[in-house]
Amino acid sequence: MTQAFASQSDLLEKTVSFTEIGEGLYAFTAQGDPNSGVIIGDDSVMIVEAQATPRLARKVIDCVRSVTDKPTTHLALTHYHAVRVLGASAYDAQQIIMSDNARAMVAERGQEDWDSEFQRFPRLFEGHESIPGLTWPTTTFRDRMTVYLGNRRVNLMHLGRAHTAGDIVVHVPDQNVMFTGDIVEYRSACYCGDGHFADWGGTLDAIEGFDLDAIAPGRGDALIGQDMVNAAIKSTRDFVDSTYRPAAQVAARGGSLKDAWLAVRAECDPKFADYAIYEHCLPFNVSRAYDEARGIDTPRIWTAQRDLDMWAALQG
């Protein structure tokens, strides 16, 4: 039987969890779907990651309302991907924050990413008619920015390239908790189609250097306690390295993209085949790893047509 492309056959609704990971800090997770974070300050709330649509965002809002009636004033977006940002309008936040690089990527490839992801993951885009358009930040920064929610300090930082060139993390120092976006995953495949393999490990090193007490990862369960945090960082590092290394070896000997696909599967299937969205991510990951190994630093823009052409080449 022909395998469905990406997550087109993933039509089952996921069970939501809403986990306290520090005082006034929560992780919204849903069995491998994109996570969101909640930071409750003295008088207001910051949401980290908007979800793919206003319909999904309202699930986050319902969870927030179960613990506080404070208004949401800030929305922090760790990167530009459609499944993370297109639900932003539901929050009516006064400030929408991205890195400078993430905003530039919205301008360069935001619509193409939306079109591509809509095709890849139709379940996440149910209710897409309510999306008003691309999500643009009201506020951007280069390396670091601090927001005060009353007395609660929230540090937003670009620690390096990883999942995209514009990734940020959100750190709450009074609880030593971090919202990492897709730089760190837990028992979920990393999507590397817009990634920077050579830099990802250094960015993980920077995160590890905080000796965090908890992480809300991009996908997967909330990580509470240093043992769980360190295990997730280690497994993320292994996933990224295990994807890039065989693809780079194939590229170095002049092999084809299909050769790289087979080599990465041989390395990664035994370790990661049971991870969430593994099959979804694999073709995009191999394609990007193969490109980076051949000296293409800036990831090529994914379009709906490029997705299908790549998939046909790998299946042929």
- Reported as half-sphere exposure (CB side, CA atoms, 13 A), residue 114 has a value of 19
Length of the chain: 316
Mean pLDDT, rounded, for 306-315? 89
pLDDT (tens digit per residue) in 228-272 = 999 999 999 999 999 999 999 999 999 999 999 999 999 999 999
Task: With a cut of 50, say whether residue 310 has pLDDT above it.
Answer: yes
Question: Could you tell me if 54 and 89 are in contact, meaning their C-beta atoms sit under 8 angstroms apart?
Answer: yes
Contacts of 20 (CB under 8 A, 6+ apart): 26
- Predicted TM-score of the model (pTM): 0.96
Token pair in block for residue 124: 């996440």
* CA distances from residue 143 to 60, 95, 155, 202 in whole angstroms, order as listed: 28, 18, 11, 16
- Nearest-angstrom CA–CA distance, 233 and 111: 31
6 Rama class: left (phi>0) / alpha (psi -120 to 50) / beta: left
Query: In this model, does residue 1 exceed pLDDT 50?
Result: no
Point out which residues pair with 147 in neighbouring strands. 154
213-232: pLDDT as tens digits: 999 999 999 999 999 999 99
Name the strands in the sheet holding 223-224, side by side, starting at the edge strand that comes first in the sequence. 144-149, 152-157, 169-172, 177-181, 214-217, 223-224
pLDDT over 70 at 7, yes or no: no
DSSP string, 72-108: EEEEE-SS--HHHHTTGGGG--SEEEEEHHHHHHHHH
pLDDT at position 13 is: 82
Please tell me the predicted confidence (pLDDT) of residue 287.
97
**pLDDT tens per residue, range 72-121:** 999 999 999 999 999 999 999 999 999 999 999 999 999 999 999 999 98
